[in-house]
């Protein structure tokens, strides 16, 4: 048990050091901040001493001609203290924000490099919580944790020194409440630590739930799930509240206890001090200064428990973030070897793939598509069509077999350089909030306005976009929900064409579209495939019939292949599929 505890605190210490190392690039500022904090603490600690001097050497001996000088000294002292206070909070907050900026960049960069399979397993809300609120907690660790604690400790030491120097007895009396205070602070710290974990978990849950329901609001309303979803939301919401109340409980009980202890200490000093004053063993200014000292002494003592909390919470949050960024298993490993300019040959050699271990979705797929040819894939839903397209782009990595591009093994090529030459038009078009223009160009410097307009013209979508309010500047709302499916698809076609890829992967949407858009799309597809190697997951007969080869897929295996004519005359699955589905 004990060694376990030691291990835990050792790892906390390692974590803590690692967090500090995040601020390494701010080292000079950190050191400056710590020095200034120390300076401020010392200045503050000496303040009562000045008052004592004023009272005992100016006011009581009635040396009023010195009063002006002392008033100026005191004013200067206070101004200096205020200026240091300002500089300190500004500096430490700036340091914290710069560290956090860097950490957030790092986390975001990491998120963009994670394999898609990571996102299949992680709720969006959780990933968002990691990159927003957990990081925020680390800010507190810097701004009101590490640096301020150094100042607090120094302040306590200096004040204690002054107190002992002035009067040992009074100081000892003041300190009688400290053991109780330490005991309370320790309980407080432990309580907060446990509840904090809980609070963070509940926040992540709440975020994940809300994120999903807001995205899927259509479903919630369509199926009248409002009441049921409300009930589930209530549960999560209540758990969130309870976790917070548990942590607030500790705050609520700790601070009043501290107040009572401080008050006891005051009472003791006033009681003892007045006796000593009457007996003349203490001067009036000294007693006044002492009472001020008590106030100054308990301020950092009171705050320090909370500051340790900030550090502790920062460590908990950092632990989660480090776990996320250390998880290199989920990072795409890719070769340094840049792909040459591709001609467009795509070959699958006995490719096996499973999203989850050994639950094979593709079982030995082979085909050889030469450059400039079009291959159509048809098959029942769930047979693995989209998965094949995803593998050509290596959005997922196949477990067995080889995928070759122009005869080069895709695993030996740098994946970014491969993806640059392949366009994937998805079944479900995703648009970012922003203008149509930005959605087509994706802020790519190589795609200028002219290229974009040419692409739109050449697939015949220019008029449709010009008709939108604002044309290419039309503001697409989140996920493009304000555009029809057909319109979204046309935009994704323009995007694919503007990038002028060698290989195009087209996953046609199944839903039927109005005839006008349908014709537009038909034309657009023809234009898009012209002169490129294409793998088309098609539902339109016109597209399928034009293909050089058709693969018929069933449960992850190719059951038939050939062109339309051959397959129709064979009278097998394709012919049947054609009769029952495609012709409609
Ligand atoms: N990200 C994923 N994680 C786990 N399993 C998945 C994932 N995507 C798809 N699958 C599974 O893989 C199988 C093949 O899916 P795929 O999307 O390739 O089918 P499809 O042929 O494109 O179907 P559809 O015609 O409906 O688009 C399905 O059983 C599906 O449940
Ligand atoms: Mg699909």
| pLDDT tens digits, 81-138 | 999 989 988 888 888 888 888 888 888 888 888 888 888 877 777 777 777 778 888 8
Q: Which of 355, 359, 577, 581 to mutate to test the pocket of ligand 1 (most atoms within 8 A of CB)?
A: 355
Tell me if 539 sits within 8 A of 577, measured CB to CB.
no
Residue 489 has pLDDT above 50, yes or no: yes
**Which is it for strands 557-562 and 549-554: parallel, antiparallel or unpaired?**
antiparallel
Residue 315 has pLDDT above 80, yes or no: yes
pLDDT tens, 363-379?
A: 999 999 999 999 999 98
Q: Is the CB of 3 under 6 A from ligand 1?
A: no
Q: Which CATH superfamily groups domain 10-330? A: ABC transporter type 1, transmembrane domain (1.20.1560.10)
Domains 10-330 and 346-582 share a fold: no
Which of the residue ranges 36-45, 140-149, 417-426, 572-581 would you say has the lowest mean pLDDT? 140-149
Residue 50 has pLDDT above 60, yes or no: yes
Residue 582 has pLDDT above 80, yes or no: no
**Which is it for strands 533-537 and 549-554: parallel, antiparallel or unpaired?**
unpaired
381 Cα: distance to centroid of ligand 2 (angstroms): 7
Residue 248 has pLDDT above 70, yes or no: yes
Tokens of 459: 């697939």
Range from 90-94, 428-432, 555-559 that averages highest in pLDDT: 555-559
Q: Which of 382, 395, 510 to mutate to test the pocket of ligand 1 (most atoms within 8 A of CB)?
A: 382
Q: Does domain 346-582 have CATH number 3.40.50.300?
A: yes
Quote the pTM value. Answer: 0.72
Please give the angle made by the CA atoms of 314, 318 and 321, to the nearest 5 degrees.
145
Range from 186-195, 350-359, 461-470 that averages highest in pLDDT: 350-359
Residue 433 has pLDDT above 50, yes or no: yes
Average the pLDDT over 286-290 and give the result. Answer: 85
For tokens 């294409």, the residue is 534
Provide the pLDDT for residue 558. 94
- DSSP E strand boundaries for 222-301: none
pLDDT tens, 366-412?
A: 999 999 999 999 988 899 999 999 999 898 999 999 999 999 999 99
Residue whose C-alpha is closest to residue 501's, from 493, 512, 509 = 493
Residue 480 has pLDDT above 70, yes or no: no
Provide the pLDDT for residue 114. 84
Residues with Cβ within 8 Å of residue 375, at least 6 apart in sequence: 367, 369, 534, 535, 536, 547, 548, 549, 550, 551
pLDDT band with cut points at 50, 70 and 90 for residue 538: confident
Residue 3 has pLDDT above 60, yes or no: no
Q: Is the CB of 428 under 6 A from ligand 1?
A: no
**E strand or H helix at 320, and its extent?**
helix 284-326
**E strand or H helix at 161, and its extent?**
helix 147-166
- What is the distance in angstroms between the CA of the first residue and the CA of the last residue of the chain? 71
Q: Which residue has the higher pLDDT, 7 or 318?
A: 318
- Report CA torsion sign: 390, 392, 393, 396: positive
Strand partners, 551: 377, 561
**Maximum Cα–Cα distance for the chain, whole Å?**
121
Residue whose C-alpha is closest to residue 152's, from 302, 290, 284 = 302
Average the pLDDT over 179-197 and give the result. Answer: 84
Q: Is the CB of 387 under 6 A from ligand 1?
A: yes
426 Cα: distance to centroid of ligand 2 (angstroms): 8
Provide the pLDDT for residue 7. 60
pLDDT > 70 fraction of the chain, expressed in percent and rounded: 96
What totals of helices (H) and strands (E) does the chain contain, helices first?
A: 22, 12
Residue 2 has pLDDT above 60, yes or no: no
d(CA 90, CA 202): 32
Residue whose C-alpha is closest to residue 418's, from 390, 386, 393, 447 = 393
Q: Is the CB of 381 under 6 A from ligand 1?
A: yes
Average the pLDDT over 433-462 and give the result. Answer: 86
Provide the pLDDT for residue 412. 92
356 Cα: distance to centroid of ligand 1 (angstroms): 12
386 Cα: distance to centroid of ligand 2 (angstroms): 4
Buried b (16+ CB within 10 A) or exposed e, 267-283: ebbeebbeebeeeeebb
386 Cα: distance to centroid of ligand 1 (angstroms): 7
* 429 exposure class (CB count in 10 Å sphere: 0-12, 13-18, 19+): buried
Average predicted confidence (pLDDT) for the chain: 85
């Amino acid at each position: 048990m004990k060694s376990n505890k030691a291990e835990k605190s050792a790892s906390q210490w390692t974590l803590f050091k690692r967090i500090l190392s995040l601020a390494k690039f701010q080292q000079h500022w950190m050191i400056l901040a710590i020095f200034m904090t120390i300076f401020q603490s010392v200045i503050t600690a000496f303040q009562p001493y000045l008052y004592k001097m004023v009272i005992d050497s100016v006011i009581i001996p009635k040396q009023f001609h010195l009063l002006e000088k002392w008033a100026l000294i005191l004013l200067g002292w206070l101004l200096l203290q205020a200026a240091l206070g300002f500089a300190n909070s500004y500096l430490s907050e700036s340091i914290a924000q710069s560290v956090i900026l860097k950490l957030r960049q790092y986390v975001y960069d990491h998120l963009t490099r994670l394999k898609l399979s990571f996102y299949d397993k992680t709720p969006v809300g959780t990933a968002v919580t990691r990159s927003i609120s957990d990081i925020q907690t680390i800010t507190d660790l810097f701004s009101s944790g590490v640096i301020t604690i150094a100042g607090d400790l120094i302040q306590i030491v200096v004040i204690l020194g002054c107190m002992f120097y002035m009067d040992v007895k009074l100081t000892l009396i003041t300190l009688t409440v400290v053991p109780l205070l330490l005991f309370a602070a320790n309980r407080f710290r432990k309580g907060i630590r446990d509840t904090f974990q809980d609070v963070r978990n509940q926040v992540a849950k709440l975020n994940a739930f809300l994120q999903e329901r807001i995205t899927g609001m259509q479903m919630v309303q369509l199926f009248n799930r409002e009441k049921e979803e409300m009930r589930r939301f209530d549960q999560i919401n209540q758990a969130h509240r309870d976790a917070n109340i548990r942590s607030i409980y500790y705050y609520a009980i700790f601070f009043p206890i501290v107040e009572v202890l401080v008050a006891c200490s005051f009472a003791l000093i006033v009681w003892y001090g007045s006796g000593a004053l009457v007996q003349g063993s203490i001067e009036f200014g000294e007693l006044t200064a002492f009472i001020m000292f008590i106030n100054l002494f308990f301020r950092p003592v009171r705050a320090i428990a909370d500051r340790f909390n900030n550090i502790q919470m920062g460590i908990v949050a950092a632990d989660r973030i480090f776990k996320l960024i250390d998880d290199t298993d989920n990072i795409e490993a890719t070769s340094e070897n840049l792909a040459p300019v591709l001609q467009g040959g795509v070959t699958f050699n006995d490719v096996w793939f499973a999203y989850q271990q050994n639950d094979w979705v593709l079982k030995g797929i082979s085909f050889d598509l030469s450059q400039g040819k079009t291959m159509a894939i048809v098959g029942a839903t769930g047979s693995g069509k989209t998965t094949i397209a995803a593998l050509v782009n290596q959005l997922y990595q196949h477990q067995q077999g080889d995928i070759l591009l122009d005869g080069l093994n895709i695993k030996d090529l740098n994946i970014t350089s491969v993806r640059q030459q392949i366009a994937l038009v998805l079944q479900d078009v995703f648009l970012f909030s922003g203008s149509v223009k930005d959605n087509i160009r994706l802020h790519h410097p190589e795609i200028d306005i002219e290229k974009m307009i040419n692409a739109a013209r050449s697939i015949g979508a220019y008029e449709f976009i010009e008709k939108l309010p604002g044309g290419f500047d039309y503001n697409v709302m989140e996920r493009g929900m304000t555009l029809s499916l057909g319109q979204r698809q046309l935009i994704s076609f323009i995007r694919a064409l503007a990038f002028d890829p060698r290989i195009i992967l087209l996953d046609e949407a199944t839903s039927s579209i109005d005839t006008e858009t349908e014709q537009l799309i038909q034309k657009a597809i023809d234009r898009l495939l012209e002169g490129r190697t294409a793998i088309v997951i098609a539902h339109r007969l016109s597209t399928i019939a034009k293909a050089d080869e058709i693969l018929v897929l069933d449960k992850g295996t190719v059951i038939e292949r050939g062109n339309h004519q051959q397959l129709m005359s064979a009278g097998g699955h394709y012919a049947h599929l054609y009769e029952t589905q495609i012709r409609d």
